[in-house]
Structure 1
Amino acid sequence: MRQALRRQIDRRTIIALFALLGMAAPQVRASTYYVVVAGLGGEPDYEQRFNAAAKDLEKTFKSAGTNTQAYVLSGPEATASHLKDTFRTVVNAARAEDDLVLILIGHGSFDGTEYKFNLPGPDVTGEEIADMCNHVPTRRQLIVDTSSASGGAMRAFERPGRAVVAATKSGTEKNATVFARYWVQALQDPASDTDKSGSIDALEAFTYASKKTAAFYDSQKRLSTEHAVFDDIGHGEPVREPDTKQGAYLASFTLFRFGKNQQAANDPAKRQLLMKKEELEQQIDILKYQKAAMDPADYKKQLTTMLLDLARVQQELDK
């Protein structure tokens, strides 16, 4: 009975994952809209650090090719009013098949009830940020909040179809974070591409940045004051590493391509093949979640078919 119940739960999880990733009817994502905000530093050191991180991300995303749109707000331009104007632009331009990525760099605060991201002028609350994202028609969204106390924003941000990464596990971790530094570094370092796919997904970036953050505190012989978490199913408790329920959606979210994959993304003749490759890789990840509830022979048959399809697509891309 326990085994039957476990399989029933597994099937429900799998169905939810298929719905979340859109596997029932794969669609090519035409563009990715990146919105990067470097908030109020308060001190020259933080001001310089936040702005430098935002500029590095702007350079990275703009090098990604013609199918990306990057909006970067920093310094005196990073106000709540300008942020709302930027989102209005994205709302009018984005389509359902596109992706939205919002990255917040700076200081945050949490009073036990409400999270706020610090900006020049009036701060913006977690609920206000979520509302801006809610109006963007893209089905797939990612919010990366690298600020202090960012864990306090998780409840406000979470929604099915949206993955959320926070630099802290709760709103009570209020010290300035270093997670942002390593999140930016993850998109610049090919070593973060652990599956050697030629692209960096959000789970790879999260894992890279989390490990680098922990190593930083170890090297300084200091007790860590930040513990990054993520939620990619839109409800429940955030986690610090992937498990049987969380992680598949984050792994499906491509953040940056390089080398041949970047060239393919910028080549209209190969872009469809690249999207097909990424869809197949996502389907293989989902199949792995099914394994425990499947007949071994059926699992092997489906996996073999997908791997052969993937090999054929990769062969076409390599021509």
Structure 2
Amino acid sequence: MIAPLRAGESAAPASSDPAIEQQLLDVIVVVGAGGTAEYATIFEVWAKKWQQNCERAGLSIRQIGPEPSDQFESAKDELQSVLAANIGGPTETEKETDFDTPLWIVLIGHGTWDGRVAKFNLVGPDASGSEFDAWLDPMKRSLVVANCTSSSAPFINRLSQPGRVVITATRNGGEHNFAMFGQFLAQAFASADADLDHDDEVSAKEAFIRASIETQRYYDEKGRLASEHALIDDNADKKGSAAELLQGQAKVKDGVVDGDFASQFSILVNPDLRPLTTEQRQKRDRLEAELQRLKQEFADRPKEELREAAIPVLLEIASIYAGPSE
């Protein structure tokens, strides 16, 4: 089994210490094969940004790749081993509150799709969407998987399940050009501008929206047609939604717009604040779920009634971020 690393630490050899085995990572960043020195440098910068994000938020992180650690023959073997060590699951206390600590998995690099199989390019053997599906199938924790590679959309078909947020840089496997989305997603989790609800944290939903906007701006400024269009899936329908749907800028043809579940998983963006404790996060998530319930209950009633019902909940949420009184 592999011990979790705090941000800034280097990978340590595997350990058989039972106490270490019980510890779980918060974030796993996988850096694939660069192909060229230029891309390798770009991917290293993106991975470093994730290290900084996790250090600020007090999250444990392990980077896998581009080259495997000494005890593994390939990056693919290391990835499979680390995922197996992080199956985890909610504690007894968390079970009572329907809360668990999510695992974030971020894939940085190139991807391919041959019309049947989508793969994440690693140094050595590549990893396909179906292999990821098999590795993650035993996972007992909620998951946020961000595949920031070209041709990544088919991973939604493979990985979409209840309790998971799946983000891809493209809307289909045919978008095979190098994807810039990964840069903007990493930057979003360090940007106060991405914090749409002003809670000093950036959720997976907020980061997805921000990164999608910045990706489109990148192509607009270069006078080029965008060759990538990101999707997010968090309702297990395997369809995914574009940022325009989450922002209400496009009509839903069928199904339900994704995003509600993704809004529950956040990374602290304000360096002056301490991360919420597990108990505080549990309380916040219950209150935010109550807000969503109230919005549905009062959907066809005057806004004033919704406001009156929501104020006590909003005040409780505010008290969580205010901290203890002096």
Q: Same fold (TM over 0.5)?
A: yes
> Is residue 241–residue 257 contact of structure 2 (8 Å, CA) maintained in 1?
no
Task: Work out whether 1:104 is the aligned partner of 2:107.
Answer: yes
Distance 2:198 2:284 in 1: 13
Cα deviations across residues 271-304 of structure 1 (Å, max 9, x unaligned)?
A: 5335423432343234324432568786445323
Give the aligned partner of residue 46 of structure 1. Answer: 39
Q: Which structure dedicates a bigger proportion of its chain to helix?
A: 1
Q: How does 1:81-120 map to 2 (within 5 A)?
A: 81-91=77-87, 97-120=100-123
**Counterpart residue identity of residue 51, structure 1:** E
Task: Work out whether 1:72 is the aligned partner of 2:83.
Answer: no
Once structures 1 and 2 are overlaid, which stretch shifts more, 208-217 or 111-120? 111-120
Secondary structure, aligned partner of 1:248: coil
> Is residue 274–residue 317 contact of structure 1 (8 Å, CA) maintained in 2?
no
Residues 37 and 289 from structure 1, CA distance in 2 versus in 1: closer, same or farther, beyond 3 angstroms?
farther
Give the aligned partner of residue 3 of structure 1. Answer: none
Residue 92 (structure 1) shift: 5.4
Q: TM-score, normalized by length of structure 2?
A: 0.78
Distance 1:75 1:264 in 2: 30
Q: How does 1:221-260 map to 2 (within 5 A)?
A: 221-241=223-243, 242=246, 245-259=257-271
Residue 38 (structure 1) shift: 0.8
Secondary structure, aligned partner of 1:48: helix
Secondary structure, aligned partner of 1:307: helix
> Is residue 39–residue 119 contact of structure 1 (8 Å, CA) maintained in 2?
yes
Aligned length: 282
- Equivalent residue in structure 1 for 2:313, among 300, 306, 309: 306
Distance 1:116 1:257 in 2: 32
- Equivalent residue in structure 2 for 1:129, among 129, 132, 148: 132
Q: How does 1:208-287 map to 2 (within 5 A)?
A: 208-241=210-243, 242=246, 245-259=257-271, 262-265=273-276, 272-287=279-294
> Is residue 104–residue 145 contact of structure 1 (8 Å, CA) maintained in 2?
yes
Report the identity percentage. Answer: 26
Distance 1:311 1:179 in 2: 32
Q: TM-score, normalized by length of structure 1?
A: 0.80
Distance 1:34 1:101 in 2: 5
Secondary structure, aligned partner of 2:229: coil
Distance 2:197 2:144 in 1: 21
Tell me: higher relative CO, structure 1 or 2? Use CA pairs within 8 A at least 6 residues apart. Answer: 1
Structure 2 unaligned spans of 5+: 1-22, 69-73, 249-255
Distance 1:236 1:133 in 2: 16
Give the aligned partner of residue 55 of structure 1. Answer: 48
> Is residue 199–residue 321 contact of structure 2 (8 Å, CA) maintained in 1?
no
Residue 133 (structure 1) shift: 2.0
> Is residue 32–residue 65 contact of structure 2 (8 Å, CA) maintained in 1?
yes
**Counterpart residue identity of residue 58, structure 1:** Q
Q: How does 1:174-185 map to 2 (within 5 A)?
A: 174-185=176-187
Residues 181 and 317 from structure 1, CA distance in 2 versus in 1: closer, same or farther, beyond 3 angstroms?
farther
Cα deviations across residues 87-144 of structure 1 (Å, max 9, x unaligned)?
A: 1221258757221111101111111221110011111110111222222211x21110
Give the aligned partner of residue 8 of structure 1. Answer: none
Residue 74 (structure 1) shift: 2.3
> Is residue 33–residue 90 contact of structure 1 (8 Å, CA) maintained in 2?
no
> Is residue 112–residue 118 contact of structure 2 (8 Å, CA) maintained in 1?
yes
Give the aligned partner of residue 151 of structure 2. Answer: 149
Structure 1 unaligned spans of 5+: 1-29
Distance 1:286 1:50 in 2: 41
